[in-house]
Structure 1
Amino acid sequence: MAFSSSSSTRFAAPFVSALGLIFSLSLAGCGTRTDGETADTKTTAEATTPAAPVVVDSVKLRAMAMQRDSLKADSIVKKSGQLPGAILPGHRIIAFYGNIRSKGMGILGREPKEQMFRKFEKVLAEWQAADPSIPVQAALHNVTITAQGTPGKDGKWRLMNSKATIEEVIRWGREHNCIVFLDVQVGHSTLQAELPKLEPYLKQPDIHLGIDPEFSLATMPGVRPNQKIGTFDAKDVNFAVNFLARIVSENNLPPKVLTVHRFTRKMVTNYKNIKLDPRVQIVMHMDGHGEPTLKKDSYHDYIQTEPVQYTGFKLFYEYDARPKPHHIMTPTEVLTQLTPKPLYIQYQ
């Protein structure tokens, strides 16, 4: 990176799927007209010609269903303040980040599994003690589609974890009462091309999504990941929101959490155009490392002053403490020195 006790309610089915509400289409009782013809010239033909089948635009129907479902979700939110099963803001998510197959990407894969989970339990206890008013929700945040140093056969500079790896990290999560985030670094691909690959996993109620603008380089031809900081526009974030909202509706799921990494202004453009949907809880996540003052300034400049919905903050085991006497911020420091208090905390 460049500078810069799970709840049982979360598995409740929030509402009836909108797709189940799609109205049935009946065939017309009379013949269809050809351009230029009038009813008078077709009277005889209509009496003897079978009705032509109605062409069903499935894309349009799905959009209509999602719109009705979103309105229903909005009405529920207005009455109760939250959709059933929503994790935020009733919990603070504490996540260990990395890739279980890589020691270099973060704490999630750096240490042996059981040793890592013992450390994680201590971290969760520290956060719960720092703010007893809100329960912590443990999470594993696995980089599942990873930007690469070589273009690959299709020239997209990214590689997806194997099915076995994805299923293993999900098992780890469930063994330890953790929700799981599948993180996406698109390289020179796009969210439109990559997110459908994860849909089978996202249909499960405890699986959520992260997207990383730093490694989104489709607008920078020839640039290798890590050479420049990439970007997502609001329209990209909105695509991810709509993608998740559809999955929630079609599968009667509780709301999904979407984390968007950010540590520069250009990483997310036109933030005011990001559209909220009660089926998806958006976390704008301050992803930069460095000494505490610099991290707090980045949180203020790119998260607090450009608000979307919920906020997150990353802590780096390796980089935040360099050089001494710098240190990794404690839970109490984070909670007392950042406004608003982040509801998503990630350790790398």
Structure 2
Amino acid sequence: MKAMVVSLPKKIALLLCVAVFYTTGASAYDSVNPERNAAVPPGQIEWKPVFPRALFLNRPEITVMETGGLAGPIEYQDILKNKERAEQGLQSVLLNSDVFALYGKPNARTMGILGQYSLTEIEPIMNEFVKLYDTANGNRKIIPAFYIIYGTCWPAGEIGILSTTIVEQYITFAAERGWYVFLDHQIGKYSVAEATKKLLPFLKYPNVHLALDPEWRTTKPMKEIGSVTAEEINEAQQIIQNYMIEHGIGGRRMLVIHQFNARMIKQRQLVKSNYERVQLIHCSDGFGSPKLKKETYAYNAAAKNIPLKSFKLFLKPMVEGAGYDIPIMKPEEVFSLKPRPYLIMYQ
């Protein structure tokens, strides 16, 4: 085996230079049951740029009215101002920015990079990663984010919920720095609706976004890959939208759905991504070589009904035998994926 030399800042280099090549390879899909993996050869993917059209609301045009009934004449400029104000609040945060997230469960050293460091320790690490990606994405901005496992799937599909005190510590820390927080629910034995509703109270914080991970929607975690349906994803979006309207929460929020296996999202072609208050993000999950990860991404790219994509990378974990990316892809390689991902996360 030969270690890979990476010319990067010290802290980041220590995290990334663990990559080595194995003759057996590594799976970007289901490492327990490889036969379940279904990838679409990249050559079969017809790619068309999605930016920036998909980032705007598909709203009906407001027409000019000559009279305003009992309210009197309506001025054309007033109509334009109202339309602009409404759309500005709902416009995607991804229009001019990418999001870079560190994934994990706070205080759980075996569950992602976020769990291996305290808040004060993770800040300089975050800043160095952000510098790398800010250099690679041209004149677009980078918004740092914590990607927190809020609901952890336990044996038999039970869910362990992270304490509100810890969640709010991370939300406050992030908000003070202009960072986002994604709260990820692994669903377990519960319904997607139940998992989604558990996350809703945190939407009162303007920097909070939500995520659901179908891999763990199961009563047999680590033994089988879970799944959700298109109908359930659509229902989750509707639940979020209704909650925001009912509670007077402005703007749009992202909802991230993970996938690395064909069975994880059933009837994927029926997933909707046109909810006015929810920005659906399709995350390409799974560890392995760049070749395998690109095949997974190509399979997800085929879902044009979910045009905004995300890409997840895996650092060497603290758990012996757990999978990770070998070698890990560089920021330039990540942004060269088609279509480009707008949310990048490291576990």
Q: 1:299 to 1:195 in 2, by over 3 A?
A: same
SS at match of 1:182: strand
Aligned position for 1:266: 263
Partner residue in 2 for 1:181: 182
**Pairing 1:223-242 to 2, within 5 Å after superposition:** 223-242=219-238
Deviations 1:44-82 (CA, angstroms, capped at 9, x unpaired): xxxxxxxxxxxxxxxxxxxxxxxxxxxxxxx969x9987
What secondary structure does 1:249 align onto? helix
- For structure 2, the 5+ residue unaligned runs are 1-26, 30-81
2:103 matches 1:97 = yes
Deviations 1:3-59 (A, max 9, x none): 32xxxxxxxxxxxxxxxxxxxxxxxxxxxxxxxxxxxxxxxxxxxxxxxxxxxxxxx
Say if 2:159 and 2:187, in contact at 8 Å, map to a contact too. Answer: yes
Specify the code of the residue in structure 1 equivalent to 2:192.
L
Tell me what 1:342 maps to.
Answer: 341
Aligned to 1:283: 281
The one of 126, 132, 137 equivalent to 1:131 is: 137
CA drift at 1:200: 1.6
Counterpart contact for 2:90–2:277, Cα < 8 Å? no
Distance 1:325 1:126, change over 3 A: closer
Matches within 5 A, 1:273-312: 273-275=270-272, 276-301=274-299, 303-307=300-304, 308-312=306-310
- Residue 312 of structure 2, aligned match among 311, 314, 327: 314
Moved runs in structure 1, 4+ residues, more than 4 A? 79-83, 322-325
Give 3-state SS (helix, strand or coil) of 1:343's partner: strand
Alignment of 1:1-348 (within 5 A): 3-4=28-29, 84-149=90-155, 151=156, 156-217=157-218, 223-250=219-246, 251-275=248-272, 276-301=274-299, 303-307=300-304, 308-318=306-316, 326-336=326-336, 338-348=337-347
Identity of aligned residues (%): 27
Question: How has the CA–CA distance of structure 1 residues 133 and 230 changed in structure 2, closer, same or farther, with 3 Å as cutoff?
Answer: same
Q: Determine helix, strand or coil for the equivalent of 2:172.
A: helix
Task: Please give the TM-score of this superposition, normalised by the length of structure 1.
Answer: 0.70
Counterparts of 2:166 and 2:210, CA distance in 1:
16
> Which structure has the greater CA radius of gyration?
1
Shift of 1:305: 0.9
Tell me the alpha carbon deviations over residues 234-285 of structure 1, each in whole angstroms, 9 at most, x when there is no partner: 0111111111111332323110001000001111111221122121111100
Distance in 2 (alpha carbons) for counterparts of 1:3 and 1:131: 25
Classify the secondary structure of the residue corresponding to 1:340: coil
Deviations 1:285-311 (A, max 9, x none): 00111111110111001x111221300
Provide the rounded CA distance (Å) in 2 between the counterparts of 1:167 and 1:108: 15
Alpha-carbon distance between aligned partners in 1 of 2:224 and 2:215, rounded to the nearest angstrom: 8
Contact 2:107 2:117 in 1 (8 A): no
Task: Return the alpha-carbon distance in structure 2 between the equivalents of residues 325 and 82 of structure 1.
Answer: 39
Are the counterparts in 2 of residues 147 and 225 from structure 1 also a CA contact under 8 Å?
yes
How many equivalent pairs are there? 263
Q: 2:94 & 2:123 partners in 1: Cα distance?
A: 23
Q: Runs of 5+ in structure 1 lacking a partner? A: 5-74, 218-222
